[in-house]
Amino acid sequence: MIQIDLKLFVTLSKYHPRGGGAYDVAENTSVAQLIGDLGIPVETVKLVFINGKRALPDQVLLDGDRLGLFPPVGGG
Amino acid sequence: MTIDPDQRYVRNFNTLTRAEQDRLSKSHVAVIGLGGLGGGVCEFLARTGVGCLTLVDGDCFDATNLNRQLLSREDCIGSPKATEAGKRINTINSSIRVHLYQAFIREENILEMIRGADLVVDCLDTIRDRFLLQAAARSLGVPLVSGAIAGVTGQVSVIFPGDRGFELIYGSQPESVGTGPDQGRGIETRTGNISYCAGLIAALQASETVKVLLGRGEVLRNKLLVADLWTNTIEVMDLV
């Protein structure tokens, strides 16, 4: 297992057991796999950031990564 | 009432130089959307000293706007947002040139609305219209400062002509955003919007606008500033 720092924004935070923070995942897990494992509907994730940089869902997570997932934010 | 500009802007100095103040007074900014974000943006830009504002919104105020939109008041429910914005700017600085459009943006009218502006500020409330505005700003070769909010989360980015812009934030297909009655909108349809988050993001948009106009400071080009007020997180992410 590896540990990442998982931050789920806005309505996605309900899919983290504690709202956000340290989260254990199996080695070689991709962002897309994690989204599925968390039970997040894939269409609700519009933006993925790993360590402050935009990433694609097929990117494999590494120990210590900071992962942020965003729904579409469009209000004015 | 005539007020000496040196007196009006004395508290801007020396954060801004006199040459920069003069440059702002010769600048023309189009603010598209006059709700939670746009009301704050036009107020901040007027007070900072932008000399010409184009203000665009086809909506009228209603009771649901009172929780967050600075231009809304009990006594102006039913009034066009553009009209109220123009009145407000005139009370702040009657020498600011104001162009008002009481209309929603469409492919047929957007170029006419923003032509001549040095910069466009996106304060819209639908993702689909944001792509339309981006295309128009791109075709006229002007930068776009975009802000968006949902609940107590907000984001800001600066898009120059030629940048991938919203494609990096919302995906390449605006039609894919939202379904059903909320089509074209984001997650804010479920979270609503809170006043202080709108004010924060509007202030950041005004700041980016001034920096782009003056060619000064670090600009959020190809970056997305994200603020989440439940966790006091403010982070600048790299989009490329």
Tokens of B105: 């943006």
Tokens of B232: 């006091």
Chain A residues within an 8 Å CB radius of B153? 9-10, 73
Share of chain B above pLDDT 90, in %: 91
Nearest to B233 by CA among A70, A74, A57, A23: A70
Q: Residues B17, B25: contact at Cβ < 8 Å?
A: no
Residue A11 pLDDT greater than 70, yes or no: yes
- What is the pLDDT at residue B183? 59
Q: Let me know how long chain A is.
A: 76
Q: State how far the Cα of B36 lies from the Cα of B50, in Å rounded to an integer.
A: 20
Q: State how far the Cα of A51 lies from the Cα of B237, in Å rounded to an integer.
A: 9
- What is the pLDDT at residue B173? 63
3-state class of B89 per DSSP?
A: helix
**What is the average per-residue pLDDT within B162-178?**
81
User: Residue B181: which pLDDT band, with cuts at 50, 70 and 90?
Assistant: very low
Nearest to A9 among B147, B185, B228 (CB): B228
Residue B176 pLDDT greater than 80, yes or no: no
- What is the pLDDT at residue B121? 98
- What is the pLDDT at residue B212? 98
- What is the pLDDT at residue B175? 55
User: Residue B218: which pLDDT band, with cuts at 50, 70 and 90?
Assistant: very high
- Give the DSSP letter string of B145-187: EEEEEEBTEEEEEEE-TTS-THHHHH-S-GGGS--GGGTT--T
**What is the average per-residue pLDDT within B148-159?**
98
Residue A49 pLDDT greater than 90, yes or no: yes
Q: Do B150 and A73 touch (CB under 8 A)?
A: yes
Q: State how far the Cα of B108 lies from the Cα of B112, in Å rounded to an integer.
A: 8
Q: Residues B227, B154: contact at Cβ < 8 Å?
A: yes
Q: B132: exposed, middle or buried (C-beta count within 10 Å: 0-12, 13-18, 19+)?
A: middle
Residue B51 pLDDT greater than 70, yes or no: yes
Handedness of CA A12, A13, A17, A22 (dihedral sign): positive
pLDDT, tens digit (0-9, with 9 covering 90-100), for B23-45: 999 999 999 999 999 999 999 99
Q: State how far the Cα of B60 lies from the Cα of A33, in Å rounded to an integer.
A: 45
- What is the pLDDT at residue A17? 83
Q: Do B187 and A43 touch (CB under 8 A)?
A: no
User: Residue B180: which pLDDT band, with cuts at 50, 70 and 90?
Assistant: very low
3-state class of B211 per DSSP?
A: helix
**What is the average per-residue pLDDT within B6-15?**
96
In angstroms, what separates the C-alpha of A74 from chain B's closest C-alpha? 5
Question: Within 13 Å, how many C-alpha atoms sit on residue B153's CB side?
Answer: 24
**What is the average per-residue pLDDT within A54-71?**
97
Nearest to B118 by CA among B140, B138, B142, B101: B142
End-to-end CA distance of chain A: 41
- What is the pLDDT at residue B174? 61
**Which residue is closest to A76 within chain B, CA to CA?**
B125
Which residues, listed in sequence order, are joined to residue B223 by a DSSP beta bridge? B238
Q: Residues B118, B28: contact at Cβ < 8 Å?
A: yes
R_g of chain B computed on alpha carbons:
17
**What is the average per-residue pLDDT within B143-165?**
98
User: Residue B179: which pLDDT band, with cuts at 50, 70 and 90?
Assistant: very low
B116 to chain A, any CB pair closer than 8 A? The answer is no
B67 to chain A, any CB pair closer than 8 A? The answer is no
Residue B177 pLDDT greater than 70, yes or no: no
Nearest to B130 among A9, A70, A74 (CB): A74
**What is the average per-residue pLDDT within B107-136?**
98
Q: Residues B24, B214: contact at Cβ < 8 Å?
A: yes
**What is the average per-residue pLDDT within B138-162?**
98
- Across all residues in chain B, what is the average pLDDT? 95
**What is the average per-residue pLDDT within A39-43?**
95
ipTM: 0.94
In angstroms, what separates the C-alpha of A72 from chain B's closest C-alpha? 5
Q: Do A53 and B238 touch (CB under 8 A)?
A: yes
